[in-house]
Amino acid sequence: MIDLEVTQQGKLLIYGATGYTGTLIVHEAARRGLDFEIAGRNEEKLAALSTELNVPYHVFPVNDLGGWKASLEGKTALLNIAGPFSETAEYAMEAAILFKVHYFDITAEVDIYRLAESKDAAAKAAGIMLLPGAGLFATYDPLVVHTAKRVKNPIAMRAAFKYSGGFTPGSVASSSNIINAGMLVRKNGKIKKLNEAPSATFDLGNGPEDFSLMPLGGVVLSFKSTGIPDIEEYFKLALSAGSNVEGAVKFEEGHPKKELITVRSQILIEITDEDGMVVRSMADMPEGYLPTVTSAVEVVNRALKGSYQIGFQSPASAYGSALMTSLLDVVITDF
């Protein structure tokens, strides 16, 4: 890990700044005093946001190399929030490698984690970090590492994510990509596609509940951070898929308002060790997109301050299990 004592903080470019999550993230970045510029493809929205926050903006389509060159000049890191990431991540990662800036995104699309993994050598050669999944996975992945450390030799991991909140259009498009990736699990260290989607029962504190298998990304990211050879991930939606995101995420004037959060999401991690012992740890966190907004800004800020590891990284492979305890209103229980 490179941990520089930097006196001057690096500068950030946020691409996809004008979407729902992007707007929340830029307000949080401004609140925390990050030095950043914004970018995207919609001039009207960017100009309005730029005026509101008093930050420069850049307008260019994601496949415009000249746009990347000009906007990444003098930057330390790129945070890509333009999703679905199947349309944007490859261009943005290639630009980050070419112009030598650290790359972050908030994707939950498992294929994008595999894409970043495939660019590990190129990122190392460029001396930059590629860290996809700096949103939800900034809690999930450190929680896996935390739980795995509770046993001597972990050999299997199962995760259950119960999500409370709505979905934006970008998330709906990304969800299709997650589902279309197929029923992926990791078995004996290798990614395997199942023909049928098994269900499983987990108790998150309110009695047994049914969850469906879904590749959330731990099959790539948490394998990276722990090397656990068998990984299965399950998902359950606490609210209906039609829930309006505006009603499910509590921000006021663009800033997270912890006291307004009444519904919570949970991630349960279950680790089995070589002797068959099972331990569980659970993260209880605010509903909706709040954890993503605060996590992304926290993770990116670390790189801007000179703390990073080159190559493909997961949140925990770069910043360890302690990352989750630095996040807003995440409560961990071991049992």
- Number of Cβ within a 10 Å radius of residue 48: 13
Q: Kindly calculate the radius of gyration of the chain based on its CA atoms and give it in whole angstroms.
A: 19
CB of 139 to ligand NAP, least distance (A): 9
Give the integer Cα–Cα distance in Å for 23 and 42.
13
In the list 20, 57, 103, 104, the residue contacting ligand NAP (rule: CB under 6 A) is 20
**Residue 215 binds ligand NAP, judged by CB under 6 A:** no
Which of residues 154 and 313 has its CB atom nearest to ligand NAP in the complex? 313
Q: Which residue is nearest to ligand NAP (CB)?
A: 83
**Residue 18 binds ligand NAP, judged by CB under 6 A:** yes
Give the integer Cα–Cα distance in Å for 216 and 270.
15
**Residue 108 binds ligand NAP, judged by CB under 6 A:** yes
Task: State the number of binding residues for ligand NAP (CB under 6 A).
Answer: 29
**Residue 311 binds ligand NAP, judged by CB under 6 A:** no
| Cβ atoms of 241 and 166 closer than 8 Å | no
**Residue 117 binds ligand NAP, judged by CB under 6 A:** no
**Which range in 65-73, 162-170, 246-254, 306-314 contacts ligand NAP by CB under 6 A?**
162-170
**Which range in 76-84, 120-128, 199-207, 321-329 contacts ligand NAP by CB under 6 A?**
76-84
Q: Which residue shows structure tokens 């000009």?
A: 70
**Residue 273 binds ligand NAP, judged by CB under 6 A:** no
CB of 208 to ligand NAP, least distance (A): 26
**Residue 222 binds ligand NAP, judged by CB under 6 A:** no
Tokens of 102: 């650290």
**Which range in 17-25, 26-34, 221-229, 300-308 contacts ligand NAP by CB under 6 A?**
17-25
Nearest to 233 by CA among 250, 246, 249, 215: 215
CB of 94 to ligand NAP, least distance (A): 14
**Residue 288 binds ligand NAP, judged by CB under 6 A:** no
Tokens of 65: 């190399």
CB of 46 to ligand NAP, least distance (A): 9
Give the integer Cα–Cα distance in Å for 232 and 217.
10
Residue 274, burial from CB neighbour count under 10 angstroms (0-12, 13-18, 19+): exposed
Instruction: Calculate the CA dihedral of residues 45, 48, 53, 55 and round it to 10 degrees.
Output: 80
Q: Enumerate residues 133-152 that contact ligand NAP by CB under 6 A.
A: 135-136
Give one word for 33, left, alpha or beta, with left for phi > 0 and alpha for psi -120 to 50.
Answer: left
**Residue 88 binds ligand NAP, judged by CB under 6 A:** yes
Using CA of residue 167, residue 172, residue 178, residue 180, what is the dihedral sign? positive
**Which range in 27-35, 167-175, 205-213, 266-274 contacts ligand NAP by CB under 6 A?**
167-175
| Cβ atoms of 61 and 289 closer than 8 Å | no
Which of residues 55 and 106 has its CB atom nearest to ligand NAP in the complex? 106
- Number of Cβ within a 10 Å radius of residue 246: 11
CB of 14 to ligand NAP, least distance (A): 10
Q: What is the C-alpha end-to-end distance of the chain, expressed in Å? A: 31
Residues near ligand NAP (CB under 6 A) = 16, 18-22, 40-42, 45, 62, 81-85, 87-88, 106, 108, 135-136, 168-171, 174, 289, 292
